[in-house]
Amino acid sequence: MNTLRLVKWASLAAVVGLTVALPYLVSSFYVNMATQMLFFGLFALSINLIAGYGGMVTLGQAGVLGIAGYGLGIFYTSYAVPLGVSALLAIISTILVAAFFGLLLVRASGVYFLMITLAQGMVVWGVAQRLTTLTGGDNGLRGIARPPFAVEYWSYYYFSLAVVAFCVFLIARIVRSPFGLSLKGVREAETRMAPLGYDVKRIKLFAFTISGTFAGVAGLLLAMYNNFFSPPSVYVKASAEGLLMSILGGVGTITGAFVGSGVFVFVTNYVSGYMERWPTLLGLIFVLTILFTPDGVVGAWQRLVWAPLLRRYGAADEAELIEVGVGGGGLLSDRDLKGSKSAIEAGSAAPSEEPSEQVEETRAGS
């Protein structure tokens, strides 16, 4: 157990160290890639919050991100509102819009739900295209500034890192909170929730609003990064990419969102310089992930590397939890949970064959 803890802390320290030292280690090209990875990761994580933890797949999250991006651009460039205030107003607008669509979404399920999320993205995209006086139409909005203390590539990286780290901290708390547990409850057995005392619509509305807020923060970072915001950022393709990032990394995990965005940013920025058919490569990666590890890169890592390590150092029950639970049941898999066989083989914490025995024991004991 101690060795394990050491490994855990050492790897965490290594990741933190590398993240902080990055601008001193590599060129601006890679630092910029890392910055993109951060805000796309936050975007993917915002999707993951409702899709991975809540079991509700959205195809319109880029529309929500767009409210923040356009909001910032419009307040700042068209109305000359100070940057900080513009950002605040943009986030407030995002929250309102996310809550508005949330009110529609809590009334729908299945295909209808998906259609509304799709509409959500299309409406924002359509408005962005048509309302040219405000949004600049296809030309987008230029002149969106970065904060004065974060103009350089490296200082903007640190700025994004701080913002995203804070958001991740909040999200990590939220998913472990009573609300987070209720959200997982909705994912696992929605119809069971109301009879247990939960107002399911309220849980969902909170989830959409919170998730939208984080997507909004990602939108602000994206707009300031490019000094520019335009319709492709809110198009359905952008929403789908966010969803795919979170699937690629591992649905229902926090690290997964960033692993997913990392792969995505690497392929779009780096591989695209060498390979004309990079979208095909991206597609191939997604297909292979879904075929071979439906719980994503993080899921594969946990099952193939981490769980055996735990088991080896005598934490079989923890290993079992990873093998079955962590991926959170698939978004795409039929929740036919993996690794159950090895868990039973491991024995120690595996369910007993004869449940009735246990009933008798308690009764005898009480």
Partner 1 sequence: MDETPSEQSGARPVLRLTGVCRHYGGLRAVSDVSFEVASGERRAVIGPNGAGKTTLFKMISREEPTTKGRVEFLGRDITRMPAYRVAKLGLSRTYQITRVFPALSVLENVVLATQGLRPGRYQMFKAAMSNKALVEDSERAVEQVGLQRVTKTPAAELGHGEQRQLELGIALAQKPRLLLLDEPAAGLSAVERGMMRDLVKDLPDDMTLLLIEHDMELALGLADYVTCLHNGSQVAQGNPEEIKNNERVQDIYLGRGD
Q: Which of residues 312-341 bind partner 1 (CB under 8 A)?
A: 317, 320-321, 324-325, 328-329, 335, 337, 340
- 22 contacts 221 by C-beta, under 8 angstroms: no
- Cβ closer to partner 1: 118 or 338? 338
Q: Residue 228: what are its φ and ψ, rounded to 5°?
A: -165, 145
Minimum CB separation of residue 55 from partner 1 in Å reads: 10
Using rule CB under 8 A, residue 184 touches partner 1: yes
- Cβ closer to partner 1: 102 or 121? 102
CA distances from 248 to 101, 240, 263, 283 (A): 26, 12, 8, 11
Stretch that binds partner 1, among 34-42, 68-76, 121-129, 200-208 (CB under 8 A): 200-208
Using rule CB under 8 A, residue 182 touches partner 1: yes
Total residues contacting partner 1 by CB under 8 A comes to: 53
Minimum CB separation of residue 64 from partner 1 in Å reads: 19
Of the candidates 52, 94, 55, the residue with the CA atom closest to the CA atom of residue 71: 94
The token pair that represents 362 in the structure block: 């308690």
- Cβ closer to partner 1: 205 or 236? 205
Minimum CB separation of residue 323 from partner 1 in Å reads: 9
- Cβ closer to partner 1: 133 or 352? 352
Of the candidates 258, 224, 298, the residue with the CA atom closest to the CA atom of residue 72: 224
10 Å CB burial of residue 315 (0-12, 13-18, 19+) is middle
CA distances from 112 to 43, 46, 265, 295 (A): 23, 21, 31, 25
- In the complex, the residues that contact partner 1 under the rule CB under 8 A are 173-174, 176-182, 184-185, 187-189, 191-200, 202-203, 206, 210, 317, 320-321, 324-325, 328-329, 335, 337, 340, 343, 349-356, 358-363
